[in-house]
Amino acid sequence: MFFTLFLKECKELLRSITYYMFIICTVLFYMTQLGSFDPISRPVKEEIKEEPVSKEEQAMKAAISRLMTEFSANNYSTYPFGFIKEVRLSGEEQEQAGQIIEKLTGLSPEEFIRIATDGKTSSDAVQVLRNISYEEFMGEMEKLDSLLGSGSYYEPDSLLGNTDIPDTYEEAEAEYERVLEKDRVTGAYGRIFCDYMGIIMGILPVFLAVTRSVRDKRAKASQVIFAKKASSFTIQASRYAANLAMIFLPLFILSTMLNSQAMYLAGVLSVKGNPFYMYEYLFGWLMPTVMVVLSIGFFVTELTEGPLAILLQGGFWFYTILAAKKLTGYVGTSLVPRFNSVGYYSIYEKMKPALVANRLSYLLISILLFALTVFVYEKKRRGGLFHDRALLSNTKSKHKA
Amino acid sequence: MNTEIQLKHVSKSYGKKQALKDVNLTIPRGMFGLLGRNGAGKTTLMKVLATLLKANEGEITICGVPVSQRKKIREMTGYLPQDFSMYGNMSAYEAMDYLGVLSGLGRAERKERIPRLLEQVNLQNNQFTKVKAMSGGMLRRLGIAQAILHEPKVLIVDEPTAGLDPEERVRFRNLLCEIARDRIVILSTHIVGDIEATCEKIAVLDEGSLIYQGTVSELLKKAEGKIYTAEISRVELEELKKNYVVTGMLTSGTKAIVRFIADSKEASLIAGAVLSEPNMEDAYLYLMKQQGGDK
Ligand SMILES: Nc1ncnc2c1ncn2[C@@H]1O[C@H](COP(=O)(O)OP(=O)(O)O)[C@@H](O)[C@H]1O
Ligand SMILES: [Mg+2]
């Protein structure tokens, strides 16, 4: 029964306007974002700054330079949950921040501000004291960050994260080799595909889910379907699975297009591309996103019988996109992990455990929400939910005998 | 083998509103009519039988199976809701096929039964007509076809004739009678004519209580000796209407022939009142009047 229903649901999707809108949006997004293939190539020596500066040094420099503006103005930008928030420290806290500066640079706060605000000096004017180690520096940054209520620019992880992109020729060369060896070129395109398509898959499936969920009621078909033998699980699961499959249909085609380009490029770069990496990313990375959005759509709509899910998911999605602190290698608790670069296997390698945990969590959440959907549906089928709702409004006018 | 539906002390309320009050009812095989005005609780009772609502109190068995065994009950009952419809973009055949799958029918069964049933409800030329393009009557017939697709022992039909034109109504009643030959068909209506023509056994619901249960002829017998006709003037008519329940009238010029409910003493006060045979409508109104008087 399940499979027949599943096929029927797929067929229904093929006749639904919402589905074609979905396809158009998806394809347009792909064309604009990934339409022109961005080939990986061996880094060119001249294009990269020669002066080898370590990441640690860069991070410290960046922190000091940012402090010069923010401390002098006592106006710090922090990003708790990805939303910008201006922080002003109290007199005492600002004093503590001053102490941190003094410890790291040897300059009194007054002097520090004077140098920062005289307009002539470059950002190199203030140096970190020689006897301050990187670890000590980061320890102070951590204190500063907690003074600011966390989520600030000085948070050690993001300080270092911001300088993740290699700057020296040697590093770039090593990255390139890793992409050839570990990604076999093809994997790098799997990540960029998931990055871009994840953005719209964080929202589009909710429209399909809501459309399907309200359809029974709109068509006045819910009562007659309720009374049939099929279990609530079979009914809901066939709908859910059909939507999932039909969402993956265009994704599969588009990713295959990109994959064949990547395979070709691999050949050009004399590497044997792996044709499966793309699909591993597709299902491991992108599918949990689609599933959660579908589940939220199905669950909220079954519960509220209205389009509220679109609003909720819209908000969640907006927040998710804004919350990404960096575009390449961001995971956290985000619904849409970001990796907006082709290559950089080393960054991927670092984020992988977090990514796996993140994806598994969302997978679990989506299954849970789906189970709740079935529960709510079954409840309604027994008349246990919403049946007294007419009481809240005008029973007489609402209820036609 | 038990082929009855039994309700014992069934009550159902929506919050404070009691829609069914201690209903005791036995429904045998054949056509069974459930009569009652709007809001009497007919839909509620039918939903309880179709397992879409749970009674607060009481025991219900359908052919020996308690309604708490939903899956089993759903297998043996077909339900046509009061305002049945299906997805508008589906054709009659597709709608049947979809609902047939939900009833657990295999491909071969569906292929064999759907054309046959569409023919039975006279939709054989509308296999490809989209649901959204169907008239009320066609939709109702499609509703019947889907309800008996899985060959249920019990068919529950909620106000199927509402909104149909007289010709369609007659055809629809005949269709139900045909179906009722080998199963229980429960038909609810607030139109007396529907029941008079088709059902032998009936029950009357009023404000959630069962006020009559039995055969049509027994109900008619109750009203015997209470229905009078008289030829009166129009002026007298207004006066009569104030004091008696008028069940029918025919006016011509300044005269009117009226049917009304009265006992023999009352009737003797009206010049020219003649006792007449009650019809179903008279009997129903007599019942409702008595019910009102009791309160
Ligand atoms: N979902 C509901 N919530 C509250 N009251 C309801 C609900 N459904 C029906 N009722 C009330 O219960 C009574 C019986 O309704 P119903 O069974 O639909 O009557 P019928 O079908 O005989 O017209 C009516 O007074 C109606 O207003
Ligand atoms: Mg009703």
Beta strands B154-158; B184-189: pairing state: parallel
Out of B14, B34, B37, mutate this one to test ligand 1's pocket (max ligand atoms within 8 Å of CB): namely: B14
Nearest CA distance, A219 vs chain B (angstrom): 5
Interchain CB distance below 8 Å, A219 and B102: no
What pLDDT digit, counting tens, does each position of B25-55 carry?
999 999 999 999 999 999 999 999 999 999 9
Name chain A contacts of B34, Cβ cutoff 8 Å.
none
User: Which residue CA neighbors atom 6 of ligand 1 most closely?
Assistant: B14
Question: How many C-beta neighbours within 10 Å does residue B191 have?
Answer: 13
Q: Considering CB atoms only, which of B37, B52, B98 is closest to A227?
A: B52
Distance in Å, CA A389 to ligand 2 centroid: 17
Q: What is the mean pLDDT of residues A67-77?
A: 88
Cβ density class A276-307: b for 16+ within 10 Å, e for less: ebbeebbebbbbbbbbbbbbbbbbbbbbebeb
Q: Considering CB atoms only, which of A1, A15, A227 is closest to B104?
A: A1
**Position A165 pLDDT exceeds 60:** no
Nearest CA distance, B50 vs chain A (angstrom): 6
The dihedrals phi and psi of B5, each to the nearest 5 degrees, come to -105, 130
Out of B10, B23, B43, mutate this one to test ligand 1's pocket (max ligand atoms within 8 Å of CB): namely: B43
What does the alpha-carbon distance between residue B76 and residue B63 come to, in Å, rounded to a whole number?
Answer: 9
Q: Binning pLDDT at 50, 70 and 90, where does residue A258 land?
A: very high
What does the alpha-carbon distance between residue A128 and residue A57 come to, in Å, rounded to a whole number?
Answer: 9
CATH code of the domain occupying B5-219 = 3.40.50.300
Name chain B contacts of A215, Cβ cutoff 8 Å.
87
Question: The tokens 């199976």 sit on which residue?
Answer: B65
Whole-model pTM: value is: 0.82
Given the CA of residue A396, which atom of ligand 1 is nearest to it?
A: 27
Name chain A contacts of B75, Cβ cutoff 8 Å.
229
Beta strands B5-14; B17-27: pairing state: antiparallel
Given the CA of residue A387, which atom of ligand 1 is nearest to it?
A: 1
The dihedrals phi and psi of B30, each to the nearest 5 degrees, come to 110, -170
Chain A residues with a Cβ under 8 Å from any Cβ in chain B: 1, 4-5, 8, 12, 15, 215, 219-221, 223-231, 235, 381-384, 387-388, 390-391, 395, 400-401
| H or E element in which residue A269 lies | none
Out of A385, A395, A396, A398, mutate this one to test ligand 1's pocket (max ligand atoms within 8 Å of CB): namely: A395
Q: Contact, B158 vs B82, CB < 8 A?
A: yes
Q: Which residue has the higher pLDDT, A160 or A131?
A: A131
Given the CA of residue A389, which atom of ligand 1 is nearest to it?
A: 3
What pLDDT digit, counting tens, does each position of B115-158 carry?
999 999 999 999 999 999 999 889 999 999 999 999 999 999 99
Among the residue ranges A113-122, A230-239, B157-166, the one predicted with the least confidence is A113-122
Cα four-point dihedral sign B230, B235, B239, B245: positive
Q: Binning pLDDT at 50, 70 and 90, where does residue A397 land?
A: very low
Q: What pLDDT was estimated at residue B294?
A: 46
Name chain A contacts of B44, Cβ cutoff 8 Å.
none
Q: What pLDDT was estimated at residue A122?
A: 61
Q: Which residue has the higher pLDDT, A19 or A343?
A: A19
Among the residue ranges A275-279, A288-292, B13-17, B98-102, the one predicted with the least confidence is B13-17
Q: Considering CB atoms only, which of B16, B39, B53 is closest to A383?
A: B53
Helix (H, G, I), strand (E, B) or coil at B107: helix
Question: The tokens 């047939």 sit on which residue?
Answer: B100
Interchain CB distance below 8 Å, B190 and A224: no
Q: What is the ipTM metric for this complex?
A: 0.90
Q: Where are the domains of chain B?
A: 5-219, 225-276
- How far apart are the two ends of chain A, measured CA to CA in Å? 35
Name chain B contacts of A12, Cβ cutoff 8 Å.
87
- CA closest to B75 among chain A residues: A229
| H or E element in which residue A174 lies | helix A169-181
Name chain A contacts of B54, Cβ cutoff 8 Å.
382-384
What does the alpha-carbon distance between residue B173 and residue B189 come to, in Å, rounded to a whole number?
Answer: 12
Nearest CA distance, B49 vs chain A (angstrom): 10
Q: Is A392 touching ligand 1 by the criterion CB < 6 Å?
A: no
Q: Which residue has the higher pLDDT, A341 or A245?
A: A245
